Amino acid sequence: MSFIVAIDGPAGTGKGTIAKLVAKEFGFMNVDTGAMFRCVTLAMIRENIGISQSEKIEKLLNEIKIELKEENGEQVVFLNGEDVTNQIRTPEINSFISDISKIPQVRTKLLELQRKIAQGKNVVMEGRDIGTTVFPNADVKIYLDASSEERARRRVIQNEEKGIVMTYEEVLESVKRRDKEDSERKISPLKKADDAILVDSTNLTIDEVAQKIYSIIKEKM
């Protein structure tokens, strides 16, 4: 038996933090699907592969090894055995990722991987299309949202912690661009599933969002 919690929504809504808390609270496995798209993006940049080079992309996808592990309570991401946890969260990756997440071969490969990882397990999986495409029959579907201004404000704080220098205006622009590209792409666009529960985190603390989601999950268990 497996119990699946799908958390979807745009960047900066706190999906990552919430998924981590849910995993801890219920002892579920946490699957960050954005990290998988980030690994493919990093691999393509490193190998200098363009988005229209189908054959090269196919080869890369056949050979790529992406692993999500937990070490001391923190998620560690491995690309072909190398720890790339920090390297996949740079402005450079953010600027390429929407184009790479549109590539049908990339989506097919990661869809397979996401379903395989969850097989027979209790998982909380966060991304953009989990409740709509990856697990349309998920036990709990949450769509986490927040205003773009609030999301940009949060990202500026995260960037400062990581030593990334970007103004609020630049971050807001990048947040809006990625929202637009993620929700307008043809395959698996970012969209609230009809049966997903909308949680707006604009004026809520992380703890308030977490409590809300815990009670939704407990009701379904």
Distance from C-alpha of 186 to C-alpha of 181, rounded to nearest angstrom? 10
Q: Is 98 in the site for ligand DC (CB under 6 A)?
A: yes
C-alpha dist (Å) from residue 209 to 20, 198, 205: 13, 11, 6
Residue from the set 20, 109, 128, 155 that interacts with ligand DC by CB under 6 A: 128
* 60 close to 43: Cβ distance less than 8 angstroms: yes
Q: Is 178 in the site for ligand DC (CB under 6 A)?
A: yes
Q: Is 189 in the site for ligand DC (CB under 6 A)?
A: no
Residue that is written with structure tokens 């050979």 in the block: 63
Q: In the 8-state DSSP scheme, what is residue 172? A: H
Q: How many residues bind ligand DC (CB under 6 A)?
A: 13
3-class DSSP assignment, residue 145: strand
HSE of 108, CA atoms in CB hemisphere, 13 A: 7
Residue from the set 4, 66, 84, 127 that interacts with ligand DC by CB under 6 A: 127
Residue from the set 13, 33, 148, 201 that interacts with ligand DC by CB under 6 A: 33
Residue span binding ligand DC (CB under 6 A) among the ranges 33-41, 149-157, 194-202, 209-217: 33-41
Scanning residues 39 to 78, which ones bind ligand DC (CB under 6 A)? Answer: none
Per-state percent for the chain, helix, strand, coil, to nearest 5: 50, 15, 30
Residue from the set 17, 34, 56, 117 that interacts with ligand DC by CB under 6 A: 34
Residue span binding ligand DC (CB under 6 A) among the ranges 19-27, 97-105, 140-148, 149-157: 97-105
Q: Is 37 in the site for ligand DC (CB under 6 A)?
A: yes
Distance from C-alpha of 31 to C-alpha of 36, rounded to nearest angstrom? 9
Would you tell me which residues interact with ligand DC (CB under 6 A)?
A: 11, 33-34, 37-38, 97-98, 101, 127-129, 178, 182
